[in-house]
Structure 1
Amino acid sequence: MLTQLYIKNYALFSEADIAIPEGLTILTGETGAGKSLLVGALGLIMGRRVDGSVLLLSDEKCIVEARFQKLSRSVKRIMGKFEDFDADDGEVIIRREIRPNGKSRAFINDTPVSLQMLKQVSSLLLDLHGQNENQMLLSADKQMDLVDAYAESSHLVDAFGIKMVRLDKISEELDSVRAQEEESSRQLEYFRFMVDELEKAELQAEEEEQLEQELNLLQNSEDVREALGMAVERLYQQDQAIFNQLGELLDPLKRVEGVDKSIAEEVSRLMEVQESVKESAFSFQNMLDTVGSDPERLAFLEERLSLYHGLKLKYNCQSGADLVGLLDSTVGKLDEFQSLEGRIGDLEQQRSKVLEELTIIGQQLEQARIQGKGNLEKLVTNLLSEVGFEKARFEVAIERNEHADGLLEIEGQRVKPISKGINKVYFLIQTNPGMPAGPLSQIASGGEVSRVMLAIKAALAEKSDFPVMIFDEIDTGISGEIANKVGNVMKKLSRRFQILSITHLPQIAAKGANHLQVKKRVVGDSTQSTVETLAHEERVKVLAEMLSGASPTESAMKNAAELMSS
């Protein structure tokens, strides 16, 4: 509920700190005193745009602050989802500041927030019905919410919404995967040709380097054989071969190695050298046995290396190892394409399942709305007669949201699902017998729409959780007994919800549990407005003035007292 409203330097208000109690609070005052300015101040809390012209003193900033406490469980639950500010203690303070240059700032619990966030939060706390405004009731989306509240089908709406989020997620992923598949399919034939060509080549990462070494050896075989043969002879085969010379050198050294440890160490080293010479000679001999002139092998090597060279040029690779890597990556792309096809099939199955579930839940929701609308129509029609529409008839139209491209097929119809089901729901009203029922938006005055809203909310009082309701001149076009009935409906509704009502009618004003009066006075060279909370005696006098004028008679005072006690 709204417990306090603070206003500073706004329009005619220099400074006002207004405590607002529970129940029905009446707001009265003479014409031009500033009653509607209070509604305007609350409009700032709801995020309406404004400029510096609203400032009483043009060189000082304007502040409007509203304090909300005793939040309902549903509002607390929603508030808990906002990360922009902290509302853990169950209290919300909304503040709007307007600077002299016309720029504004918004705060929720002292945390700066955007205007969009302000509107989102304030809509949970305030329901403002101004006289010439486009009220919440005229929104088809809100009309659907009210029907669902009465039909107690909100759980189905939630279930449908969850499935719609799931459908959107699957559809988004499906579109992405299909786009990938489409892009891959354009290169698919090229990739397949590449893999076929590279696989037929039977490439190996180290082969090209090995082939080049072997080719170089064959191309220089005569020089290699001559060098190897000379090395084998001089290392091991000749009488004066290095191996034999080392043996002659080692014989006398071995006889004296026991004399000195250092000699023994050097002898050991020379023996190792002699053995290495022998091993090198044997290795060169083995090489010599394998090196020879082989024209067929030479032709094979040249042809094989030519294949590598051509493929490297064709696919812009630097080495045979790069070609092998290209083959592996392209095979991976082909496998990925196959997996995309499988993923598409899987997503299409998931999507079909969600569409089936949406169809089932959507029909259940539609049936719940149809079952609930009859009683709602009767109840609201009866209440309309109590708020001044004696011959009015209220109807709830429920239609399927048919569309040629609808995702759902229900009973041969293509239906487009929305976040809250498969239906369009809107209110119709017939104000005069014999005339066709028409949309509520065709009702001319804001006061009439406010009374229709009052009737609907009274019908839904036991099944809904409304924010603070503010009615600006709901009494437009009524008087006498009808005004008394409107007051009774508001009084009854205020037992569950907080209501602020601006009125000119004593019959409605008398129903309030509390009474605020806006007064205008001259301070120096300026006119300023103030707000006063009236005691019982003051209320009786104000009601009497509303009945008979500025100087109420004793009879008027008596009538006012009777109105308050009725």
Structure 2
Amino acid sequence: MLEELEIRNLGPIHHAVLDFAPIRHALLDFAPGMTAITGETGAGKSMLLNAIRLISGAQADAGRISAGADETRAQGIFAVADGSAAAAIADDAGAPAEDGELFLTRSVPAKGRSRAMLNGHSVPRGVLADLAGELVTIHGQADQLRIASAARQREFLDAYAGDDKALESYRAAWQALKDLDAKLAKLHGQEAEARQRADYLKDAVARIDRVAPQPGEDEELKAKRDRIENAAAIAQGVGGAVAALDSSQMGYDDDGGAGVAQLLDRAVQSLRGIRLGGVFDEAADRLEAIGGEVSDVMLSLTREVGDGEDGTDLDAINERIHDLSELVKRWGPTLEDVLAWREQAGLELEDLDASPEKLEELTRRRAELAAKAVKAAGRLHEARAKAARELSRKVSDELADLAMSGAGLDITVSSRLDGTADALEAHGGDDIAFLFTPFPGSPQLPMGKSASGGELSRLMLALELASAERRGDGTAAASRTGGGGTPGMTFIFDEVDAGVGGKAAVELGRRLATLARSAQVIVVTHLAQVASWADAQFVVSKAAASEANGAAAKGVATTVSRAEGEDRVREVARMLSGSESETSLDHARELLAQSKLD
């Protein structure tokens, strides 16, 4: 929802207009529900839409800058919900929402490049465009062509249908089919170099598999070989060490042959014999601990002698080390690298394997995926066709209440399915068209080519109302890419009242107010019968510029002010009769009192 719009030094695109009146500064604080923007013809109401387009990522134009100013600047503050698509876009851009708000800012200097900012952070202009697609939809003459595209119409219908399960099921089946098609195309299109690569990988994998290396095996074998080759030296060294530590282990009994273990034991016994405790017992304890360490060392050494490699084939070990070394030379530098290379080579080989058996298997799998995609496309077609019939009827009914009696919308969903997957595309196998009949007897024509700007705006209002009614049933969430927003979405209607008057204008205002129950609605209007339904009203007018109000030059400037109380009564009276007579003022009060939804 748009909470606030601030504009500085914004003018019309064409400075040649004689009654050029820039907006030096304007601050509009919007509220939920319906807001009307009113003012005399030529006052500059369209500049408010230009400001919103700027913060929505539109192309910058230095011609928008008011005379004498260095830059034009527009900022919109939007309220967003946690977990919403808009919040996710802001997070990805590194400028997350603050207290549930997003600040979209655009500045256009007289010279140089424009700047786009989100929550005070510079971002690409496309980020603002992506955010605006989730936050605001403008239905004006310059914006209607979006819904005229087949892609936008399909998105609107899919959102209205609300069958996310059918849509997601088809997308998954389509993607699986396309991935397999790409793999088959790669196999069929392999050139000689790719086949040589496959042959090399096959030979290399076979060679590694024949050796069947194990992680760390080469280092273990080298250590084992060293022990075998030095078995005699190990036995001699260990024997001498053990004898020095404990002579009893080697058969010595006389005192002259006592080892370290016996000597430590004697020292401990001597100290214990003092029987005075204190420092003597502490020394004995320390010597006993040393003796325990000596015993552990002797046990470890005697095990080493006992674990000799008697009977081990040294030639076999050397041959195995040689085989492993050859692998390391080719695909090392370590045995672990060899194993990792072999795993990667196996995966690559699967992609390069163009054997008849492999191709046959993939072709069979492709047929299964194609059948699955065709079936999913059929379910999606049924959901779309049902939604198209319902939406066409509801929109046609709405048009009758919007001064377009006899007009109608016919949404066609034509299936291209022929039993194969050849006709499928990323979004299904349907051709969708929104065909508009502006008056009885008129041929059905594509949207955008069959109606004026005002008629298109009312047609879009009818679509939005039908979508809002669907959401009220809790069955669908509507598209953000050309219509059909969710609660919190901001809809802006321009020219929606063109060619409308009398009772039809009252009904138009009522329908806009109805839409405003589920989304924020901002309407630029010159009809009092429409503006009277609004929850808030802003008046755009011209005034003489002065240094006091921030104008940089003499002339005329556009001002925007909120009309409340008697000020609003006077503005509605002006819209009704062009004057503020007692009769028109009474009429305005009566109209405002009557313009209430039940």
Calculate the TM-score normalised by the size of structure 2.
Answer: 0.65
Q: For residues 80 and 103 of structure 1, what CA distance do their matches in structure 2 show? A: 23
Of 569, 577, 581, which residue of structure 2 is paired with 1:548?
577
Counterpart secondary structure, 1:470:
strand
Which residue in the other structure is 2:593 paired with?
565
Which residue in the other structure is 1:477 paired with?
499
Tell me the amino acid that sits aligned with residue 414 of structure 2.
E
Structure 1 residues 70 and 325: alpha-carbon distance in aligned structure 2, compared to 1, 3 A threshold: closer
Deviation of the 1:455 alpha carbon: 0.5
Deviation of the 1:73 alpha carbon: 5.6
For the pair 1:382 / 2:397, whether they are aligned, the reply is: yes
Which residue in the other structure is 1:452 paired with?
459
Counterpart secondary structure, 2:104:
strand
Which residue in the other structure is 1:9 paired with?
9
Deviations 1:226-263 (A, max 9, x none): xxxxxxxxxxxxxxxxxxxxxxxxxxxxxxxxxxxxxx
Deviation of the 1:20 alpha carbon: 0.7
Deviations 1:314-338 (A, max 9, x none): xxxxxxx99x989xx9xx9998798
Of 538, 543, 546, which residue of structure 2 is paired with 1:521?
543
Tell me the amino acid that sits aligned with residue 482 of structure 1.
A
Counterpart secondary structure, 1:357:
helix
Q: For residues 84 and 345 of structure 1, what CA distance do their matches in structure 2 show? A: 48
Which runs of structure 2 are paired with 1:295-444 in the superposition (5 Å)?
Answer: 339-341=353-355, 344=359, 347-400=362-415, 402=416, 410-412=417-419, 415-444=422-451
Structure 1 residues 23 and 182: alpha-carbon distance in aligned structure 2, compared to 1, 3 A threshold: farther
Which residue in the other structure is 1:496 paired with?
518
Counterpart secondary structure, 1:492:
helix
Calculate the TM-score normalised by the size of structure 1.
Answer: 0.68
Deviations 1:440-460 (A, max 9, x none): 122242111110000011011
Asked whether the 8 Å contact 2:104–2:119 carries over to 1, the reply is yes
Which residue in the other structure is 2:285 paired with?
none
Counterpart secondary structure, 2:567:
helix
Counterpart secondary structure, 2:116:
strand
Structure 1 residues 77 and 148: alpha-carbon distance in aligned structure 2, compared to 1, 3 A threshold: farther
Structure 1 residues 535 and 152: alpha-carbon distance in aligned structure 2, compared to 1, 3 A threshold: same
Asked whether the 8 Å contact 1:129–1:135 carries over to 2, the reply is no
Q: For residues 431 and 6 of structure 2, what CA distance do their matches in structure 1 show? A: 41
Q: For residues 461 and 407 of structure 2, what CA distance do their matches in structure 1 show? A: 15
Which residue in the other structure is 1:51 paired with?
61
How many residue pairs get aligned? The number is 427
Aligned-residue CA RMSD (Å): 3.3
Which residue in the other structure is 1:120 paired with?
130
Deviation of the 1:347 alpha carbon: 4.7
Q: For residues 81 and 154 of structure 1, what CA distance do their matches in structure 2 show? A: 25
Deviation of the 1:80 alpha carbon: 6.8
Which residue in the other structure is 1:99 paired with?
109
Asked whether the 8 Å contact 2:106–2:116 carries over to 1, the reply is yes
Which runs of structure 2 are paired with 1:53-452 in the superposition (5 Å)?
Answer: 53-71=63-81, 74-76=84-86, 78-79=88-89, 82-87=92-97, 89-180=99-190, 183-185=193-195, 339-341=353-355, 344=359, 347-400=362-415, 402=416, 410-412=417-419, 415-452=422-459
Structure 1 residues 557 and 171: alpha-carbon distance in aligned structure 2, compared to 1, 3 A threshold: same
Deviation of the 1:174 alpha carbon: 4.0
Tell me the amino acid that sits aligned with residue 52 of structure 1.
A
Which residue in the other structure is 2:337 paired with?
none
Asked whether the 8 Å contact 1:397–1:427 carries over to 2, the reply is yes
Q: Percent identity?
A: 28
Q: For residues 82 and 97 of structure 2, what CA distance do their matches in structure 1 show? A: 13
Structure 1 residues 477 and 335: alpha-carbon distance in aligned structure 2, compared to 1, 3 A threshold: closer
Q: For residues 522 and 335 of structure 1, what CA distance do their matches in structure 2 show? A: 79
Structure 1 residues 559 and 182: alpha-carbon distance in aligned structure 2, compared to 1, 3 A threshold: farther
Asked whether the 8 Å contact 1:51–1:102 carries over to 2, the reply is no
Counterpart secondary structure, 1:32:
coil
Counterpart secondary structure, 1:42:
helix
Counterpart secondary structure, 2:413:
strand
Tell me the amino acid that sits aligned with residue 501 of structure 1.
V
Asked whether the 8 Å contact 1:132–1:445 carries over to 2, the reply is no
Structure 1 residues 179 and 528: alpha-carbon distance in aligned structure 2, compared to 1, 3 A threshold: same
Tell me the amino acid that sits aligned with residue 159 of structure 2.
A
Q: For residues 80 and 358 of structure 1, what CA distance do their matches in structure 2 show? A: 35
Structure 1 residues 414 and 478: alpha-carbon distance in aligned structure 2, compared to 1, 3 A threshold: same
Counterpart secondary structure, 2:60:
coil
Deviation of the 1:59 alpha carbon: 4.8
Tell me the amino acid that sits aligned with residue 453 of structure 2.
G
Deviation of the 1:419 alpha carbon: 2.9
Deviation of the 1:83 alpha carbon: 4.2
Structure 1 residues 558 and 72: alpha-carbon distance in aligned structure 2, compared to 1, 3 A threshold: farther
Q: For residues 106 and 514 of structure 1, what CA distance do their matches in structure 2 show? A: 29
Structure 1 residues 86 and 561: alpha-carbon distance in aligned structure 2, compared to 1, 3 A threshold: same
Counterpart secondary structure, 1:146:
helix
Q: For residues 86 and 124 of structure 1, what CA distance do their matches in structure 2 show? A: 15
Deviations 1:358-406 (A, max 9, x none): 2121111100111222222211111011112101122111012x4xxxx
Tell me the amino acid that sits aligned with residue 388 of structure 1.
A
Structure 1 residues 187 and 540: alpha-carbon distance in aligned structure 2, compared to 1, 3 A threshold: closer
Deviations 1:252-306 (A, max 9, x none): xxxxxxxxxxxxxxxxxxxxxxxxxxxxxxxxxxxxxxxxxxxxxxxxxxxxxxx
Structure 1 residues 188 and 558: alpha-carbon distance in aligned structure 2, compared to 1, 3 A threshold: closer
Between structure 1 and structure 2, the one with the greater Rg is 1
Asked whether the 8 Å contact 1:79–1:87 carries over to 2, the reply is no
For the pair 1:532 / 2:554, whether they are aligned, the reply is: no
Which residue in the other structure is 2:226 paired with?
none
Q: For residues 505 and 101 of structure 2, what CA distance do their matches in structure 1 show? A: 35
Counterpart secondary structure, 1:424:
strand
Deviations 1:28-85 (A, max 9, x none): 0112221000101111112111222211144522211111004486435753773443
